[in-house]
Structure 1
Amino acid sequence: MEAVKASPFSSSSNSCYLSRNPSLTLPRFHRISIKLPFFDGPLLSSRLVSVCCHNPNSDSFIVDQTVTGYGNRSKSPTHLPDDHGQASASSPSSAIDFLTLCHRLKTTKRKGWINHGIKGPESIADHMYRMSLMALIVGDLPGVNRERCIKIAIVHDIAEAIVGDITPSDGVPKAEKSKREQTALKEMCEILGGGDRAEEIKELWEEYENNSSLEANLVKDFDKVEMILQALEYEMEHGNVLDEFYLSTAGKLQTEIGKSWAAEIHARRNSRLKNRLN
């Protein structure tokens, strides 16, 4: 080991060097302490180690104290403040845990289609993805933040990764459904490790749930429009008649965009039904 300059974390105020060079002499019981970050793995687990040397001519250092910190996966915080005091991104461990849980959104099929005998129906993630595309392609609207609409569309059903797709046919009261989803969302944010991103997901979800903004109004409409568009596609693919889904959205659209897109879907469906009769 060549000369090692004392760490700025050292408890000693003196600048010093630790060396095996015999020409460097210090009092026999002089104690030098430095603290260095020590990593147990590929930046996933680390400790802050205090290293002492009681005899500078010794071939080894004595580990005097270990402080748990940084990326310890079981005990340490999963995000650290940045230079501006803001919470940084979640740790790799928390991020992958969160994303793994969200895999259920890709595999959980939408129950309404299952109940109507649709084979290979769309997943929750399929539904949210096309809603996000709707928010992406919609024209600019006064007072509406399109990027926020995209984010709301991505997270509006995210709690279903835990609670599943609860439909009216399940007989669960609306307040109870919301309570279950809110509890699930809290759990998911804890898995993510808290911090700014988890708080943003929570705010976006609550905004949609409470229908409390122009963006939420629009995404609520996209939710209904995407459903009836999917119904039309399943009718064309399987020959089913899925009147229930169209009727469930009648008179419930809040925006002109939602109404105009829904009208186009209804027009295409009516044209198709007319052609079938002929």
Structure 2
Amino acid sequence: MTDTEAAGAMSFIFEAGMLKRAKRTGWWIAGISDPESIAEHSFRTAIIGIVLAGMEGADPARVALLCLLHDTQETRVSDIPHIGRRYLTAADNETVTADQVSACPPEVADPIRAAVAEYEAAETLEAVVARDADKLECLVQAVEYRHQGTDTVQRWIDSSRSALKTAAALRLADAALAGNPLNWLTTFRTS
């Protein structure tokens, strides 16, 4: 790898770091004053994807990769809430990704472009599971916001649940809706 190629790869890494600061804008519409970042969403989407992959018999490493890359384009087009998509047209994610990795060497750019294309095509089991992980993460986040006292998140819960495709994602959604986000705290309570 040349110094120029390394600089190109580092440019993509720096750009991806912006996702740690960029907020998920749809939650502002629900009245959340400090919503999660895109990176926080993508991290838990990957965790959910690994769980769903195990439940559905998909490759967990591939699903995690697809989940981690599914919103990287938002460094350039931002997180457009669903209501905004009615009025705006953005470049497709494959085009944005190609621009993002254009300075990277092929051994870096090619697998990233391929993963984004796979996710967008939604034809492989891993892509279907990754897309379900994205929707399920939104539902789980809405459940958490509701538990914290925000009562305006039901439309996010309903739309996320209705978009789920796999039986495992539906089971986990039902468990999230029936559960308490803080139950995990009592797992090892001894008294």
Normalised by the size of structure 1, how large is the TM-score? 0.59
List gaps (5 residues or longer) in structure 1: 1-43, 45-69, 79-90, 270-278
**1:163–1:181 contact (8 Å) kept in structure 2:** no
**Which residue matches 1:242?**
153
Count matched residues: 180
What are the within-5 Å matches in structure 2 for residues 212-227 of structure 1?
212-227=123-138
The structure, 1 or 2, with the larger RCO (C-alpha pairs under 8 Å, 6+ apart) is 2
Question: 1:171: Cα distance to partner?
Answer: 3.2
Question: Cα–Cα, structure 1 residues 210 and 96, in superposed 2: closer, same or farther, change >3 Å?
Answer: same
What are the within-5 Å matches in structure 2 for residues 1-278 of structure 1?
70-71=2-3, 73=4, 78=5, 91=6, 93-138=7-52, 140-141=54-55, 144-172=58-86, 176-177=89-90, 179-191=91-103, 193-268=104-179
- Flag the structure with higher helix content: 2
> C-alpha separation between the residues in 2 aligned to 1:262 and 1:188?
33
> C-alpha separation between the residues in 2 aligned to 1:127 and 1:221?
13
Identical-residue share of aligned pairs (%):
26
Instruction: Provide Cα deviations, 1:56-105, integer angstroms capped at 9, x if missing partner.
Output: xxxxxxxxxxxxxx43x4xxxx2xxxxxxxxxxxx1x2232111111221
**Structure possessing the higher radius of gyration over alpha carbons:** 1
Question: 1:250: Cα distance to partner?
Answer: 3.9
Instruction: Provide Cα deviations, 1:185-236, integer angstroms capped at 9, x if missing partner.
Output: 1111113x13122111111111111111000111111111110110011111
Question: 1:137: Cα distance to partner?
Answer: 3.5
> C-alpha separation between the residues in 2 aligned to 1:190 and 1:172?
29
One-letter amino acid of the structure 1 residue matched with residue 169 of structure 2 = G
> C-alpha separation between the residues in 2 aligned to 1:117 and 1:242?
9
One-letter amino acid of the structure 2 residue matched with residue 145 of structure 1 = D
Instruction: Provide Cα deviations, 1:98-141, integer angstroms capped at 9, x if missing partner.
Output: 11111221111001101222021101110110011123344635
> C-alpha separation between the residues in 2 aligned to 1:146 and 1:238?
34
Question: 1:241: Cα distance to partner?
Answer: 3.0
Q: Which secondary structure state, in structure 1, belongs to the residue aligned with residue 54 of structure 2?
A: coil
Question: Cα–Cα, structure 1 residues 161 and 241, in superposed 2: closer, same or farther, change >3 Å?
Answer: same
Q: Please provide the CA RMSD for this pair.
A: 2.2
Question: 1:252: Cα distance to partner?
Answer: 2.3
Instruction: Provide Cα deviations, 1:11-68, integer angstroms capped at 9, x if missing partner.
Output: xxxxxxxxxxxxxxxxxxxxxxxxxxxxxxxxx9xxxxxxxxxxxxxxxxxxxxxxxx
- Flag the structure with higher strand content: 1
Q: Which secondary structure state, in structure 1, belongs to the residue aligned with residue 148 of structure 2?
A: helix
> C-alpha separation between the residues in 2 aligned to 1:121 and 1:263?
23
> C-alpha separation between the residues in 2 aligned to 1:184 and 1:202?
10
